[in-house]
Amino acid sequence: MSAENGVLRPPGAGRRFAVAGMGATGVGVFVALVRSLAAGGHTAGAEVHIFETKERLGAGVAYSTPHDCHLLNMRAATMSVRAEDPDHFVHWLAERNALGPAGAGEYVPRRLFAEYLQEFFDEALAEARQRGIKVVTHKSVVSDCREDALGVHLIAGLDHFVFGHVFLCLGDLPSTEYLEFTKLPTYVHSMWQGAGLEAIDPDATVGILGTSLTAVDALLQLRAAGHRGPVTCFSRRRSLPKVQGPRVRHTLRHVTEDNLRRLTGDFTRQLEFAEVAELFRRELEDGLGLAIDWKRVLARPADPVTHTLAKDVELAENGQTLWYSILDATSEIVPLVWRSMSPGARASFMTEHLSIWSMFRHCMPLDNARRLLDMATDGAFAVASELTSVTYDEEDAAFRMEAGGAAHRVEWLVNATGTGFALDCSDSSLIQNMLMRGDITPHPLGGIDVDFDTLRVVRRDGSLSERAHYIGPLTRGVHFYTNSFETNLANAHSAVAAVLTRLDSAAAA
């Protein structure tokens, strides 16, 4: 490697790759890259540089939690890192006696998935070295990425590198809501960063913003830590996630690629929201064999949380959750459905229906629901919906909330509203630098705009980068279902496949 003007540059940048961010998606990219380089005969002179700020490679944000109460919200059967071997994670768990009685249907602690990812990463690392691919890991923050005729320039710490292709897998951004409270010592902006919930006084009154799976994680962690003060979850419109029952196989009849082709005239026109809603309505009603009372299902939550939770737990225990199996069966086709929708239809879904969709689609494992029901029955937490305002009263050193016409006061406030999608609020200098130059562009529905098939980033002028790919939760505007490992892994494979096609053509030329 030569170092001219401080630029670390090898003889040819073409087979030098960078993976920035080594969470689950970064691991997916790395493994796919190593295997594809080996399979395609591109190992000679190949180098893969990995950049990660955390000590631990492979765990990322979601799976680094050490708490056993933080479960995967997907069954073990859906979390295989090997697309060709769906039972890979199930077997891995079984070999370690970590699989419960539900077998492939088990929801295991997320920390186990982190161990699994790390092992998978280590195996690929060994394979890379055995095949002569040089792998270099850098414990540093990538602060800039820019492309020119030489290749893609990455700045990490004080170093400047040039690569042929770069995969940016930076993960979730912290919430971009309630930023005005971030300097307050009794506000937890992200429970996954810093001291998180551990800083909270066990007798304090706590407000949790949101009622999604992150709020469930917060409630269960507070319980496990012996929190004694009252806790209230605040939401604008939705309630706690529904409860997952046993999954049964469902073959899609309406939400199918054939129907999408027919309705869009082979994808020559885009679908309006009502057309997509109709496909899902038919799928659910045909699958369940009954007409659904949609007004009741979509109504704002009115019953007390103990009542709703008790009912949802009972339905899941009795296997009366076929609706979940039907929604689950749509996972693979949902990105294509999303791609077939008009921009207006997507925007209307995001503003009007996303929260209710998430309540049913991202529902909680039964074990967690039972724990929450115990907590709610003990009066350990309540849910207040129709949140309209949150302010901080400096004199009282407490937060004031208005929800459903009632006033609430809490000493600590936890933001559990999930991923932020407003790039301009991101604290990542990498994102800010690329955004400022127009090397990436915000998607109109939030996050980063990329090409659907190759994950190449879209520049401000609408052109596609030749060499920079973005994969992960922030491509939600394009792929929709990016809060699932499955989708991000599939996208990691697509991005690597696109790069390999370029290498193959270059080799053939």
Which residues contribute to the site for ligand FAD (CB under 6 A)? 20-26, 51-54, 60-62, 72-74, 141-142, 169-172, 214, 428, 430, 472-473, 483-485, 488
Shortest gap between Cβ of 171 and ligand FAD (angstroms)? Answer: 2
Report how far residue 305's alpha carbon sits from residue 219's, in angstroms, rounded to the nearest whole number: 14
Shortest gap between Cβ of 11 and ligand FAD (angstroms)? Answer: 26
- Best CA proximity match to 161, nearest among 48, 30, 37: 48
Report how far residue 222's alpha carbon sits from residue 226's, in angstroms, rounded to the nearest whole number: 6
The residue (of 22 and 327) whose beta carbon lies closer to ligand FAD is 22
Shortest gap between Cβ of 116 and ligand FAD (angstroms)? Answer: 12
Cβ proximity of 243 and 363 under 8 Å: yes
Strands (E), 64-186: 134-138, 142-148, 151-156, 159-163, 165-168
254 three-class SS: coil
Shortest gap between Cβ of 350 and ligand FAD (angstroms)? Answer: 18
The residue (of 323 and 481) whose beta carbon lies closer to ligand FAD is 481
The residue (of 214 and 330) whose beta carbon lies closer to ligand FAD is 214
The residue (of 21 and 442) whose beta carbon lies closer to ligand FAD is 21
Shortest gap between Cβ of 45 and ligand FAD (angstroms)? Answer: 25
How far is CA 346 from its chain centroid? 19
Beta carbons within 10 angstroms of residue 93's beta carbon = 21
Shortest gap between Cβ of 470 and ligand FAD (angstroms)? Answer: 10
Shortest gap between Cβ of 258 and ligand FAD (angstroms)? Answer: 27
The residue (of 33 and 62) whose beta carbon lies closer to ligand FAD is 62
Report how far residue 93's alpha carbon sits from residue 80's, in angstroms, rounded to the nearest whole number: 11
The residue (of 321 and 488) whose beta carbon lies closer to ligand FAD is 488
Residue type for position 274: A
The pair of structure tokens assigned to 215 is 């709020």
Report how far residue 421's alpha carbon sits from residue 320's, in angstroms, rounded to the nearest whole number: 35
The residue (of 141 and 184) whose beta carbon lies closer to ligand FAD is 141
Report how far residue 195's alpha carbon sits from residue 210's, in angstroms, rounded to the nearest whole number: 20
Query: Which position has the token pair 């295991």?
Result: 108
Report how far residue 42's alpha carbon sits from residue 168's, in angstroms, rounded to the nearest whole number: 21
The residue (of 107 and 323) whose beta carbon lies closer to ligand FAD is 107
Which residues, including other chains, have CB under 8 Å from residue 128's CB and lie 6 or more apart?
Answer: 34, 48, 135
Report how far residue 359's alpha carbon sits from residue 371's, in angstroms, rounded to the nearest whole number: 18
Shortest gap between Cβ of 160 and ligand FAD (angstroms)? Answer: 15
Shortest gap between Cβ of 491 and ligand FAD (angstroms)? Answer: 10
- Best CA proximity match to 334, nearest among 486, 450, 453, 480: 480
The residue (of 364 and 445) whose beta carbon lies closer to ligand FAD is 364
